Amino acid sequence: MGELKADVVVVGAGHAGCEAAAAAARMGSAVVLVTLHRETVAQMPCNPAMGGIGKGHLIAELDALGGLQGWAADRAGIQFKILNRSRGPAVWGPRAQCDKEIYGRLMLRLMEGLPGVTLVEGEVEGLLLEDGCIYGVRLEGGVRIEAPAVILTTGTFLGGLLHTGEDRRPGGRFGERPSTGLGGELTRLGLELRRFKTGTPPRLAKASLDLERLDVQKGDPEPRPFSWRTRAVRNRCVCWVTRTPPEVRAIIRENLHRSPLFAGAIDGVGPRYCPSIEDKVVRFPHHESHTIFLEPEGVNSGSIYVNGLSTSLPQDVQERVVRTVPGLEGAAFLRYGYAVEYDVVAPRQVTRRLECREVPGLYLAGQLLGTSGYEEAAALGLLAGINAVHGLRGEEPFVPGREDAYLGVLVDDVCGREHREPYRMFTSRAEHRLLLGVDSARERLMAEGRRLSLVPERAFHVEQERWRKRRLARTVLEEARINPNAATRERVRRVAGVELSSPSSWAQVLRRHDVDAENVAAALSELEGLTAEDRRIVVGMLRYDGYLARHEHERERLRRMRHIPIPADLDPASIPGLSREVAEALEVEQPQTIADAERLPGITPAALAILTGRIARGGGGE
């Protein structure tokens, strides 16, 4: 029986596991990273893209803290695009189509070469426990890895069950067997599990498709990287768009009884934001047609991901459906779509440092906590890695607040609230969305990354210098007055296309609704010395000003409010507007201050506002 010793064991080398292992190692811990197979490290088993709206925000924050995902996506990226460009900058979502093979290989090489990380192939079959505390894991075959902190990031492998039509077989991903022993271990520890479901569309052979006929989707003309580690990226491929024809509806309706979703074979709850085509046809019967995006899985890959056609219908039905779609008439299947059901740990069993309440030293991250998506997984992985190290050192946990980062929103929601479906990040989940744009991620978090020694000093100083310049530029725009005379009028007309009638600052001109601020900023000599991107950021912030001030005020209020004591005779049930869930939590936990209340699971910012309002009005019992 072999034996290994480490500070931290990470079980699973997906997006969560890799971030956790890298963070812990770079903070100085000895890490063992256990994966079932070397070849499947950091796989992208579903769509070939990283980022997007909400998800791109997570990558940006991860990157500011020294995480890997943005860096890897820049290198594996083959098409870069910022979604929501027609909206304001707070909701811009950078996204990259990636070459899956390059992505996985990059991560594998990084994990193999990262000082402090030992990559081990094997299946974890049990946890080592003594007096309710964890001290390591046991692999199949008896090898023991001892470590005071264990991070589980097993993705969809716990109790995994794959469905394609009537066919179902145990599996974590296509062609991979599930992890069976570990699920039983968690149940024995008293953790409550529940069942989620997710699905993926078929993959088609590129050579079999008639792509010439279809509309092309290109990346941004000036692609922008995710990471401060990356100087530049370039687009290397396009995607294609097509639509399902009306007859798809009839084919699916005829075969619904053979769909595991509708025939009742699947108990797990699937994500509504990522429905299968059969779901879409049933729920929106009046929609004649649904959009389909054809996305290459790699720059030289012959595999096309059929985005929009997620399904678990039987193979013959999948073939019929796909071959009715324009451009796909001759499609050859490389892989059929399937649904996967898996076990997740029900919320409220981990603290915000992602440690099991009942099992000190056991941390969870990724899909195991009920999230979906590479980005959510990576974000939780990074936080688990940091907190495992802090836990070992007896340091304060690192938990960003909801008002500080999407990471804070994520942790808060995942740990504290019931969710009925795999949790995906949306910008609508962030109360302080306007403060949390991708543009401000580094300014918000990079200092933390530096403090955690996950961001090198030099990179931090380069960024700091940018922030300084942006602040300076802002002051100039705000303070320099333009007095209307022939020359200044002419200039404002030329640059901004509007008339200057009274003395104003450039800031005032740029805030006007009839001014294309971004173009003006590009032409302003006052902003000399700023990169095009920094000009855009300065102007973007300027145009949010009134709103940002309000949020800053709110953030201040939140901070002050944290010190407010909660009167002992306060009866939560008598407070109008509080949900029953929140009232119960307050009653049971009896927090002493608002700050204590805030840490309770399920407490929303709205609930805190109501609670504080009541206390401020002198509300005791009635």
> Which residues contact another protein by CB under 8 A?
47, 52-54, 83-84, 86-88, 90-91, 93, 201, 241, 272-275, 280, 283-284, 287, 290-291, 293, 307-308, 310, 417, 419, 426-429, 431, 433-434, 513, 544, 547, 571-574, 576-580, 583-584, 587-588, 604, 606-607, 609-610, 613, 621-622
Distance CA 20, CA 543 (A): 37
Look at the block and give the residue holding tokens 């001014």. 515
Tokens of 365: 């991250």
Shortest reach from residue 132's CB to another protein, in Å: 27
Give the residues across from 603 on adjacent strands.
none
DSSP codes of every residue in 164-176:
ETTEEEE-SBTTB
Distance CA 413, CA 408 (A): 8
**54 touches 219 (CB < 8 A):** no
Look at the block and give the residue holding tokens 């009653």. 587
With both helix axes pointing from N to C terminus, report the angle between 532-561 and 605-616 in degrees, rounded to the nearest 10. Answer: 40
Residue 205 backbone dihedrals phi, psi, to 5 degrees: -75, 125
Look at the block and give the residue holding tokens 């145990």. 170
Nearest to another protein of 66, 373 (CB atom): 373
Look at the chain and count its residues: 622
Shortest reach from residue 555's CB to another protein, in Å: 14
Nearest to another protein of 227, 311 (CB atom): 311
Nearest to another protein of 164, 427 (CB atom): 427
Nearest to another protein of 185, 404 (CB atom): 404
Name the residue among 6, 41, 192 with its Cα closest to residue 113.
41
Nearest to another protein of 199, 268 (CB atom): 199
Distance CA 261, CA 621 (A): 49
Nearest to another protein of 346, 392 (CB atom): 346
Beta-strand pair 149-152/8-11: parallel
Burial of 252 by CB count in 10 Å (0-12 exposed, 13-18 middle, 19+ buried)?
Answer: buried
Nearest to another protein of 29, 307 (CB atom): 307
Shortest reach from residue 431's CB to another protein, in Å: 7
Shortest reach from residue 607's CB to another protein, in Å: 6
Nearest to another protein of 8, 507 (CB atom): 507
Give the residues across from 27 on adjacent strands.
none
Shortest reach from residue 258's CB to another protein, in Å: 23
Shortest reach from residue 238's CB to another protein, in Å: 15
Shortest reach from residue 226's CB to another protein, in Å: 17
Nearest to another protein of 257, 286 (CB atom): 286
Nearest to another protein of 52, 223 (CB atom): 52
Residue 455 backbone dihedrals phi, psi, to 5 degrees: -120, 130
Nearest to another protein of 325, 388 (CB atom): 325
Shortest reach from residue 140's CB to another protein, in Å: 36
Burial of 259 by CB count in 10 Å (0-12 exposed, 13-18 middle, 19+ buried)?
Answer: buried
Tokens of 595: 């700050």
What b/e readout covers 539-578, taking b as 16+ CB neighbours within 10 angstroms? bbbbbbeeebeebeebbeebeebbebebeeebebeebeeb
Nearest to another protein of 475, 519 (CB atom): 519
Nearest to another protein of 396, 622 (CB atom): 622
Shortest reach from residue 391's CB to another protein, in Å: 30
Nearest to another protein of 190, 285 (CB atom): 285
Shortest reach from residue 433's CB to another protein, in Å: 7
Name the residue among 302, 309, 290 with its Cα closest to residue 46.
309
- In the chain, the N- to C-terminal Cα span, in Å, equals 66
572: three-class secondary structure by DSSP = helix
Shortest reach from residue 194's CB to another protein, in Å: 16
Element (H, E) at 479: helix 457-479
Name the residue among 412, 340, 21, 360 with its Cα closest to residue 156.
340
Name the residue among 329, 307, 323, 333 with its Cα closest to residue 239.
307
**322 touches 328 (CB < 8 A):** yes
Shortest reach from residue 50's CB to another protein, in Å: 14
Shortest reach from residue 577's CB to another protein, in Å: 4
Shortest reach from residue 264's CB to another protein, in Å: 22
Name the residue among 410, 403, 416, 393 with its Cα closest to residue 445.
403
Beta-strand pair 31-35/161-164: unpaired
